[in-house]
Amino acid sequence: MLYTIKNNEITVTVSDRGAELWSVKRGDCEYIWTGNEDFWPNRAPLVFPVCGRFFEAKYTAKGKVYDLPCHGFIRPSTLTVTEHTDTAICLELKASEETMNVYPYDFVLKVWYILEGDKLTNRFEMINPGNEVLPITVGGHPGFNVPLEGKGAFEDYYIEFENECSPDKFIFSESCLLTGKKEAFPLEKGKILRLRHDLFDNDAIFLSRADSTVTLRSDKTDRFVKLNYPDMPYVGVWHKPLLKAPYVCIEPWCGMPGYDSVMEDMETRPDMFRIEPGSSKNVEFSMIFG
């Protein structure tokens, strides 16, 4: 089911399936990718309780082996709407027998979308109602139409970090898993990544040590999307490889995929929040639609 929040400037649509952002419109401009299956059937999915994938889609926890699909299990899950006002909505996912079969931990996830002027905040509240430490992480995967409002071509758009930075790029294996290697990823003027379809021939570009504010823009239009993600140490840029796809995803993540050829244990793997019983952890990122 689809739900709407809006103000005088922006109308936002959210699906209860995966708490996925479905649409953001300002005037006649649709910012969110429309889910054309010829290029990518999703729009702006979330990733939870892991980011990315494991080697052979398996990991260990509590002495057992579990199967977990890429990006976890939130995308096909139906969340419960617990609050809904004109400008905010909260969707909730709780541990169930089904989730316990792939992730043996008690949890509550609350996903908020909060609209203030031209800014939409995506907030994640991760709660541990159980009696053991909860290893968990989260990320965003929003796709944006490129070009925006049909103005210009894909190659006319670029991603600009607000402050100069010297990020490192993760080197992935052919299975899109970590190799333990990174390399410097120079940006034009220390800020700019110009879009080309062949950037993604080997899948996503994921960066660490990048600035925490980035804008998708073009000299062909005044339309833009600015993301701010100070809670999230990694950012990815992606569209489906080997296609001239008319969108780009900008993905703030709190975690990373597993290592190639390694069966990881959930209790010890890096880049996981470890939430004590009865405690919670909040992270968020925001998007400004201009």
- Cα 213 to Cα 18: distance, rounded to the nearest angstrom: 25
What averages of pLDDT result for each successive group of 10 residues across the chain (290 residues)?
98 98 97 97 98 97 97 97 98 98 98 98 98 98 97 98 98 96 98 98 97 98 98 98 97 97 96 98 98
- Cα 263 to Cα 259: distance, rounded to the nearest angstrom: 8
pLDDT the model gives residue 175: 94
Does some domain include residue 282?
Answer: yes
**Chain centroid to CA 170: how far?**
17
Does some domain include residue 68?
Answer: yes
- Cα 249 to Cα 40: distance, rounded to the nearest angstrom: 11
Does some domain include residue 104?
Answer: yes
Model confidence, pTM: 0.97
Q: Are 40 and 250 in contact (CB under 8 A)?
A: no
Q: Are 170 and 206 in contact (CB under 8 A)?
A: yes
Residue 37 sits in a domain whose CATH number is: 2.70.98.10
Does some domain include residue 225?
Answer: no
Does some domain include residue 188?
Answer: no
Does some domain include residue 180?
Answer: no
Total domains in the fold of the chain: 1
pLDDT the model gives residue 148: 98
pLDDT the model gives residue 67: 97
Q: Which domain holds residue 244?
A: 2-155+237-289
Does some domain include residue 149?
Answer: yes
Does some domain include residue 190?
Answer: no
pLDDT the model gives residue 25: 98
- Cα 133 to Cα 135: distance, rounded to the nearest angstrom: 7
